[in-house]
Amino acid sequence: MSTVAKDRRVPFFTRIAYGIGESAEGMQRNANSLFVLFYYNQVLGLPGTLAGAALFIALLVDGFTDPLIGTWSDHCRSKLGRRHPFMFAAALPVGLTFIGLFAPPSGLGEVGLFLWLTAFAVLTRFALTLYNVPHLALGTEITEDPEERTRLILLRQLFSYLGTTFAIVVGFGWFFSDARGGRLLAENYPTFAIALGTAMTVAILVAAVGTRSEIRHVNTAPPRQRGFLAQLVRDVRESARNKPFVWLAAGTTALFVSAGVHRTLSLYLLEYFWALRSGQMVVVQLATLIGLFAGIVALRIVLFRTSKRFTLLLGTAGAVLFQVLPVLLRLVDLFPANGTSALVWALIVMEVIQGAFSAFALVAYFAMMTDVTDLHELDTGARREGALFGVITFAVKASAAVAQIVAGIGLDVIDWPRGAGVTVSDVPADTIVHLGIFYGPVLMVFSAAGIWCYLHYRLDAKRRAEIMRELYARRRAAAAGTTA
């Protein structure tokens, strides 16, 4: 463990390499949420309940691996430090398993498709977890300067959005464009997966190689005083005693059910509810990213002039409102009609605003996570970035798992027609309305629960400064004792 304060600036090119690594997570998250359920349910004909159940199982298994990988990386001792062995090991599996996810053999039948989807969804998510949890922990521990940490978070989010942009552009703009057969042609999906899988592997390798110089600044793994499983249980138990962390995790869990339903049904809304063409889908999806970039630019004014908690609450409430508002307005006939340019422009405006608020929420959330890791060290005497990020990503993925099965069951309940030949004209008008009715209330209920949890978070700037003073004093005393 470090015995000194690490109020340092991270070198520019190291920051860029670290940020590039997050683009892999952005690519996979976007592709999984937009295309996987749609591909297996709508294109391959797997019932929504089975597809949702497969993704539920995968996310639940993946969630349990997050604390495991976090604790493992916290206690890893190697020449590459305690984070980089995992980052290097994950690079190739992330790409290969993603390709396999979109390349099931023909003639599997419903049971075979269900098993293939379950297996590769588990493998894909585990491979990314092997990289992502240590990568997140690395950004928290290489510096303790609050503004420098915020810069790293901003850069990480920026590249996450760039990864999302890449997935949207190569997906809707090329592989799933109307000129190439659109979103309902099964042959388009394996080639899309090859392009994205290769890009993810390259991004992870850039991050792993480009941040090797930071290994000397990473805290040394503490000696393990008990077996691995016992240590894992202890880490989880200690995390549960950290009240600000618990409220942050609880709020994020509820909100990710809402976000998971939104992302899972996004392509259904674009394809059928709004009846957009591929070019319009690209524009509307990129509008969200324009909003995210605008939010990052405006964030410095909001975050540094108010508080992290206020910024999180503002961002969450605004993002949810403008996410749901277009569907609610359409249900009461107050939104432009399908097939009009007014609809596209209205969706663009809503997505820009929603994206800006989302940037506020995401950056504030990660900044608050760095604060709870410092509180955890003060309370326990140990740095456990990996364990804390592992626990919270478990909570997030468990909620996302719930969202997947909720969305899958919802599609079956409203009797959504399946098959690659189903076009907008084949879906009854009442069924499309039911999709909107199902989508809106689910998002609003879970989002309200998340905001309520965030209201109970109590760790302000004054308390954070006190924590750092106590930590620095403790480290100086430990260093003096060692010298003596």
pLDDT tens sequence across 398-453: 777 778 788 888 888 889 988 777 888 888 999 999 999 888 887 888 889 999 99
Average pLDDT of the chain to the nearest whole number: 85
- Name the CA dihedral angle for 449, 451, 456, 461, rounded to a multiple of 10 degrees: 160
Lowest-pLDDT choice from 15-19, 224-228, 245-249: 224-228
Q: Report which listed range, 40-44, 96-100, 291-295, is most confident.
A: 96-100
C-alpha–C-alpha distance, residues 318 and 307, integer Å: 16
- Report pLDDT for 5: 42
List all residues 6 or more positions away from 198 whose beta carbon is below 8 Å from its beta carbon.
95
476-484: list long-range contacts, CB under 8 Å, 24+ apart. 476/3, 476/4, 478/3, 479/3, 479/4, 482/3
3-state secondary structure of 342: helix
Cβ-based neighbour number of residue 223 at 10 Å = 7
pTM metric for this prediction: 0.75
pLDDT at 229: 66
The residue-averaged pLDDT of 199-214 equals 92
Assess contact for 373 and 239: CB atoms under 8 A. no
Residue of higher predicted confidence among 20 and 362 = 20
The domain defined by 12-220+228-483 folds into Growth Hormone; Chain: A; (1.20.1250)
Torsional sign, CA 54, 286, 366, 130: positive
| Position 319 confidence tier, pLDDT thresholds 50, 70, 90 | very high
21 pLDDT above the threshold of 80? yes
Q: Which one has a higher pLDDT value, 399 or 482?
A: 399
User: What pLDDT score does 267 carry?
Assistant: 87
> Which residue in 65, 34, 116 sits closest to 396, CA to CA?
65
Q: Amino acid letter at 254?
A: A
Cβ-contact 348, 283 below 8 angstroms: yes
Averaged over 265-275, what is the pLDDT? 91
- Whether the per-residue pLDDT at 365 is higher than 90: the answer is no
Lowest mean pLDDT among 102-116, 269-283, 355-369, 398-412: 398-412
CA–CA distance, 100 with 58 (Å, rounded to integer): 15
More confident residue, 383 or 425: 425
pLDDT band at 463 (very low <50, low <70, confident <90, very high): confident
pLDDT in tens, 122-180: 999 899 989 988 888 887 777 777 777 777 877 887 898 889 889 988 998 899 998 89
Q: For residue 235, is pLDDT > 80?
A: no
| Band (363; pLDDT cuts 50, 70, 90) | confident
CB-side neighbour CA atoms (13 Å) of 292: 21
Name the 3-class secondary structure at 25: helix
The pLDDT of residue 484 is 44
The pLDDT value recorded for residue 42 is 92
CA distance 231 to 247: 23
Question: For 325-333, what is the mean pLDDT?
Answer: 93
Q: Which 8-state DSSP code applies to residue 219?
A: P
| Residues 230-257: b if buried by 16+ CB within 10 A, e if exposed | ebbebbbebbeebebbbbbbbbbbbbbb
Between these two residues, 143 and 465, which has the higher pLDDT value? 465
- Mean pLDDT in residue range 259-275: 88
- Shortest CA distance to 190 belongs to which of 52, 15, 43, 20? 43
* Residue 4 confidence (pLDDT): 41
> Which of 31-45, 257-271, 318-332 is least confident?
257-271
CA dihedral 192, 194, 197, 202 (to 10 degrees): -120
